[in-house]
Chains A and B, each alone.
Chain A
């Protein structure tokens, strides 16, 4: 496993409420803090809960990259990923990315491991009866590559429900322009209030307008970020030394409203509780007359 290159980022919050955590009302203090942070910042960065699962995911991606490059299995998977730009160019990176993620998405263990990376955090922020995006997405952004830039957007503009969150998990240390940018809720609301003035302007104009307010959360290997997809976010050209590799995948409460990303096509139930199963199967009695 790659070692983090420094101290944990300051925005990391603890995400492991224990059974004996102080309770106040119906939620523990740790859960309250996580919720407060999510509502205030629009995101939380947390230590991963299952480092073994993250290592398996990272190693599978690195093996896929090595296979695509016709190279041997890497001894240091993190180093291979971080320096992949030394082995191929921007015109090849998307073919490699698609080959890797398409292979991973056919394997059942991948979604399970991905969820286990931040299960408690997702359950605290979203709920414990969940639908999960059926395919993980993989981003690869090499230094200086302007073909992998994801312009500023909010997923709700593309049909996602505002009840969804994104679990964003880097496979290398991400910081500066190697990370993604995000508007926090207060700034997001201010810019949305003036949104109509962009009706005849470009997405790049929009980015320049929000640029002074965006943040670039630092998320190291071994950490994960959960953020609201109703907030404007995206990435820019990576001017750091290493290549960014990150997964993203959406989660929502099973019965919160769905947008255009539907159950079956885009989402799949992953945790249906027993009482819900019983409720869904129940049929009210009929046949009585007044």
Chain B
């Protein structure tokens, strides 16, 4: 990331930074502007200030460079509003490290889609339960109703 963009990220004192994805989130591709709407709606409902352009993660699988940048600015910001908590790294130890950094800097993490706030370590157990069960849970979308109507 260029020095100029880093400075832009750092000139955000007192507000939250949104974080959106280009790659699929749990298998779904969500347009950036829709992710932005979900974040703004969450911020409004939670009375959080989030006036800035969100950081957009790069598309490469397993890449968290933008998230790293956003976490680095947390001492200057109040924290991060992710479009979804499922944009956090899949590896539990890496997530834990991120929690540690954000809370140590006095910030908080928010999942707008899930409507879940992590204000401190006491909130992470609940989210980690969701991550862990999700690793093993089977997803089988309901049958396509249109196919039933078509008789196929």
The A-B contact count (CB < 8 A) is: 73
CB within 8 Å of B: which of A238-263? 254-260, 262-263
Contact yes or no, A162 B114, CB < 8 A: no
Contacting residue for B137 out of A134, A195, A254, A268, CB 8 A: A254
Bitwise, A263-289 to B at CB < 8 A (1) or not (0) is 111001100100001001100000000
Chain B residues, CB < 8 A from A258: 137-140
**Which of chain B's residues have a CB closer than 8 A to the CB of A8?**
none
Question: Which of B135-152 touch A at CB < 8 Å?
Answer: 135-143, 145, 148-151
Q: How far is the CA of A157 from the CA of B140 in the complex (A)?
A: 13
CB-based contact A263/B130 at 8 Å? yes
Say yes or no: is A161 at the interface (Cβ < 8 Å to chain B): yes
Is B85 engaged at the interface, CB distance under 8 Å to the other chain?
yes
Cα distance A256–B133 in the bound complex, in angstroms: 11
Q: In the bound complex, how far is the Cα of B26 from the Cα of A66, in angstroms?
A: 42
Contact with B142, one of A198, A259, A265 (Cβ below 8 angstroms): A259
* In the complex, chain B residues whose CB is within 8 Å of the CB of A268: 126, 129-130
B148 to nearest A CB, angstroms? 6
The number of residues on chain B lying at the interface, defined by a beta carbon within 8 Å of a beta carbon of chain A, is 29
What CA separation (Å) do A255 and B134 show in the bound complex? 9
Asked if A87 lies at the interface with its beta carbon under 8 angstroms from chain B, I say no
How far, in whole Å, are A131 and B139 apart by their CA atoms in the complex?
A: 14
State the CA gap A93–B115 with chains docked (Å): 25
Q: Which of B130, B136, B142 contacts A264 (CB 8 A)?
A: B130
CA distance A198 to B148 in the complex (A): 11
A residues near B103, Cβ cutoff 8 Å:
none
- Across-interface contacts of B137 in A (CB, < 8 A): 254-255, 257-258, 263
Find the B residue at minimum CB distance from A192. B148
Tell whether B132 is near chain A: CB-to-CB under 8 Å: yes
Known A195-B149, A196-B150; contact A263-B142, beta-carbon cutoff 8 A: no
| A160 contacts the other chain (CB 8 A) | yes
Q: Looking at the assembled complex, report how far the CB atom of B41 sits from the nearest CB atom of chain A, in whole angstroms.
A: 14
Can you report 7 residue pairs joining A to B where beta carbons are below 8 Å apart?
A162-B142, A196-B148, A199-B150, A258-B138, A263-B130, A264-B86, A265-B113
Residues of A within 8 A of B (CB): 131, 134, 156-157, 159-162, 192, 195-196, 198-199, 254-260, 262-265, 268-269, 272, 277, 280-281
Apart from A159-B141, A161-B142, A196-B150: 17 A-B pairs, beta carbons within 8 A:
A131-B133, A156-B143, A195-B149, A196-B148, A196-B151, A198-B149, A255-B137, A257-B139, A258-B139, A259-B139, A259-B141, A264-B86, A264-B116, A265-B114, A268-B130, A269-B133, A277-B132
